[in-house]
């Protein structure tokens, strides 16, 4: 049986046409799935009976099971989805006055080993399928709808691919899910409201520019190659000059006229006045804004967050040089849903934690 969330509209139209059904039925089904949030083919009353029978014989709509569903005191909500074989992913909804942002995972664990990220400590287990990615959005909208008066206004207005994993390392499945998010027959989100965050996979950034240009966020976290090599190891393969060339190129088709640079504030690592001035010089020729992220601690991380005064002073230096700079408000930290804390009860099949201990890095 084919999970229908693994198929785009054009492919599905072709499949049903080959089976002798009218292609327009695909759009009807998409409305039921994504607008009405109905997954029982028999209850899709305007579909022909023979088409419903065909669907039941060849397709299914399935989701990962939910291991737990927690809501923070600030309204942030986190789901832990069971991925089988003692693996799990986490998805976080952040409600705000005029929008609801869903932080979606793209992999079980992560292979990039950023030293300050708890997900990176797990090691990499596998990529998520397109269906597993889009299911996070479907389930969140469906479970949150009770808090809204009308089905016409979905709870999730913005999506950020900033959960577990490196989205661009799971390129095909992520782009397939993005296209469903953007499709007017499905969720109809604007490209400006969908953001992909990357640690700097340059070839994939250049490919995304042409395949599905959405808003781009780059996990920068360092003002020079020396520091970035140490805390974001992918920088050794794609150093800052190469990364920034790709960012310049991406802006040609980006829905926003700037790149967002994410910068986690690590005490005595990347938070000095000198580091701030290095950033000023580094980004002087690119349209960008900065999002400073107070480090969210996790056991044995080896890092501390910069204190509030240090973060504010760092921000002021950037703002004084005409760089739009915000400080990310910590949300959901009481349920381990804050940035950098997404871990879940996931077995480290790569034994990365053991290796780090043996290498004296933990």
Q: How far apart are CA 272 and CA 142, in angstroms?
A: 45
Half-sphere CA count of 358, side-chain side, radius 13 A: 5
CA-to-CA separations, 59 to 2, 5, 14, 51, in angstroms, rounded: 5, 10, 14, 11
Instruction: Determine which one of 110, 212, 247, 339 is catalytic.
Output: 339
Tokens of 221: 């976290």
Q: Which residue has the tokens 């469906």?
A: 142
Is 90 labeled as catalytic in the residue annotation?
yes
First to last CA, the chain: 45
Which is the catalytic residue, given 90, 132, 166, 262? 90
Strand partners, 93: 77, 102
| Residue 213 Cα distances to 5, 11, 210, angstroms | 21, 21, 6
Per the CB < 8 A criterion, the answer to whether 250 and 277 are in contact is no
Q: Is 339 a catalytic residue?
A: yes
Tokens found for residue 269: 């690592």
CA angle 224, 284, 282 (to 5 degrees): 5
Q: Is 74 helix (H, G, I), strand (E, B) or coil?
A: coil
Ordered alpha helix ranges (H), the chain: 9-18, 24-30, 49-58, 118-122, 130-144, 171-182, 202-211, 225-231, 240-250, 273-282, 308-320, 352-358
Round to whole Å and give the CA distance between 62 and 67.
15
Pairwise CA distance, residues 341 & 117, whole Å: 7
SS3 for 72?
A: coil
Q: How far apart are CA 346 and CA 337, in angstroms?
A: 15
Instruction: Name 58's bridge partners.
Output: none
Q: Report, as residue numbers or ranges, the catalytic residues.
A: 90, 339
């Amino acid at each position: 049986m084919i999970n229908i969330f693994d198929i785009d509209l054009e492919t599905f139209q072709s499949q049903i046409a080959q089976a002798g059904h009218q292609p327009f039925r695909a759009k009807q089904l998409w409305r039921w799935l994504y607008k009405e949030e109905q997954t029982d083919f028999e209850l899709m009353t305007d579909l022909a009976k023979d088409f419903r029978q065909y669907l039941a014989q060849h397709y299914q709509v399935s989701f990962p099971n939910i291991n737990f569903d927690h809501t923070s005191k600030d309204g942030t909500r986190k789901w832990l989805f069971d991925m089988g074989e003692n693996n799990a992913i986490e998805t976080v909804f952040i409600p705000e006055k005029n929008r609801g942002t869903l932080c979606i995972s793209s992999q079980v664990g992560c292979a990039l080993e950023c030293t300050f990220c708890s997900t990176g400590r797990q090691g990499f287990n596998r990529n998520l399928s397109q269906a597993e990615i889009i299911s996070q959005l479907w389930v969140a909208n469906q479970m949150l709808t009770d808090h809204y008066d009308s089905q016409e206004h979905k709870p999730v207005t913005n999506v950020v691919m900033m959960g577990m994993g490196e989205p661009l390392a799971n390129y095909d499945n992520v782009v397939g899910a993005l296209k469903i998010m953007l499709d007017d027959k499905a969720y109809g989100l604007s490209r400006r409201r969908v953001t992909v965050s990357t640690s700097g996979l340059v070839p994939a950034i250049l490919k995304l520019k042409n395949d599905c240009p959405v808003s781009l966020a780059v996990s920068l976290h360092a003002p020079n190659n020396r520091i970035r090599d140490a805390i974001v190891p992918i920088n050794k393969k794609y150093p800052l000059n190469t990364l920034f060339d790709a960012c310049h190129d991406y802006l040609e088709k980006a829905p926003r006229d700037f790149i967002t640079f994410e910068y986690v504030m690590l005490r005595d690592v990347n938070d000095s006045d000198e580091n701030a001035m290095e950033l000023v010089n580094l980004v002087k020729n690119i349209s960008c804004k900065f999002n400073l992220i107070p480090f969210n601690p996790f056991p044995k991380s080896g890092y501390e967050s910069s204190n509030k005064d240090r973060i504010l002073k760092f921000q002021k230096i950037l703002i004084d040089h005409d760089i739009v700079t915000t400080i990310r408000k910590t949300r959901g930290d009481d349920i381990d849903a804050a940035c950098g804390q997404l871990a879940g009860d996931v077995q480290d099949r790569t034994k990365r934690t053991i290796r780090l201990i043996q290498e004296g890095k933990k």
